[in-house]
């Protein structure tokens, strides 16, 4: 099955675009959704997280306390690597299992850090970038999450630049501040039809 790696910076519109492909019949596997599930109450990563970092990063419902973890890894880069060493192999395992079960004319793997980590780059046939200017990313994420501008910029500075992403893209969906939802839909639809013709 044709495998598309869908990526883009935070707030670029990856989820929105992936939802459209899903609506049109593609299989979508989102590594962010999987990462989130792994750290929910009873998530597969929670026993190792509790054992490694202690109760201070576990919320009362048994899920990972994201704010506490964000602070911890911000002040201690080694703990970020430890967390990644727990989570990444589990994401890979669950993603590959869901990819094997995929149906439809192509599979979309949503990987926010596709360009940064390289791990998934060799597993996909094409890279599709949802492209957005940084100012629009900040305002969308602010509206969606209520994070401070500082926190958003911190996240963005750990991500690839717009140029670095575009450099590896086979396909691009422009979703900048001037893009209306219906323009986004039209652009995504063209790619959907193209991929179906390749598949
Ligand atoms: P990502 O998954 O890349 O972080 P999302 O798809 O969640 O980004 O989009 C971020 C926010 O911006 C969401 O609330 C989404 O509905 C909104 N959004 C994305 N694209 C547009 C657009 N073209 N017009 C208006 N709102 C948009």
> Residue 74's pLDDT is what?
85
Q: How many angstroms separate the alpha carbon of residue 52 from the centre of ligand 1? A: 34
Which ligand 1 atom lies nearest to the CA of residue 17? 6
Does ligand 1 come within 6 angstroms of the Cβ of 36?
no
> Residue 117's pLDDT is what?
82
Which ligand 1 atom lies nearest to the CA of residue 19? 6
Q: For the chain, which domains are there?
A: 1-26+104-199 (3.40.50.300), 33-103 (no CATH)
- Phi/psi region, residue 42 (left: phi>0; alpha: psi -120 to 50; beta: rest), is left
Q: Name residues of the chain where pLDDT drops below 50.
A: none
> Residue 194's pLDDT is what?
97
Cα 139 from chain centre = 18
Q: How many angstroms separate the alpha carbon of residue 114 from the centre of ligand 1? A: 19
Nearest Cα residue to 27 out of 169, 185, 197, 195: 195
Instruction: List Cβ neighbours of 53 (8 Å cut-off, separation of 6 or more).
Output: 69, 72, 79, 82, 83
Which ligand 1 atom lies nearest to the CA of residue 130? 3
Which ligand 1 atom lies nearest to the CA of residue 144? 14
> Residue 47's pLDDT is what?
97
> Residue 199's pLDDT is what?
77
> Residue 178's pLDDT is what?
98
Does ligand 1 come within 6 angstroms of the Cβ of 181?
yes
pLDDT digits (tens, 9 = 90+) for 101-139: 999 889 999 999 899 888 889 999 999 999 999 999 999
For ligand 1, pick from 130, 135, 140, 162 the residue to mutate: most ligand atoms within 8 Å of CB.
140
For ligand 1, pick from 8, 13, 36, 156 the residue to mutate: most ligand atoms within 8 Å of CB.
13
């Amino acid at each position: 099955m044709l495998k598309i790696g869908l990526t883009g910076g935070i707030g670029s519109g990856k989820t929105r675009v992936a939802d459209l492909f899903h609506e049109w019949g593609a299989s979508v596997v989102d590594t962010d959704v999987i990462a989130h599930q792994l750290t929910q109450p009873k998530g597969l990563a929670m026993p190792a997280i509790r054992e490694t970092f202690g109760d201070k990063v576990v919320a009362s419902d048994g899920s990972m306390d994201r704010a506490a973890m964000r602070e911890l890894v911000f002040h201690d880069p080694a703990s970020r690597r430890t967390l990644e060493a727990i989570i990444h192999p589990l994401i890979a395992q669950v993603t590959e299992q869901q990819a094997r079960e995929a149906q439809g004319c192509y599979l979309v793997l949503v990987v926010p850090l596709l360009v940064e980590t390289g791990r998934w780059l060799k597993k996909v046939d094409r890279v599709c970038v949802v492209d957005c200017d940084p100012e629009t990313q900040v305002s969308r994420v602010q509206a969606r999450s209520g994070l401070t501008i500082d926190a958003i910029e911190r996240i963005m500075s750990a991500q690839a630049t717009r140029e670095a992403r575009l450099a590896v893209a086979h396909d691009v969906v422009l979703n900048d501040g001037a893009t209306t939802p219906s323009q986004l839909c039209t652009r995504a639809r063209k790619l959907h039809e193209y991929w179906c013709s390749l598949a």
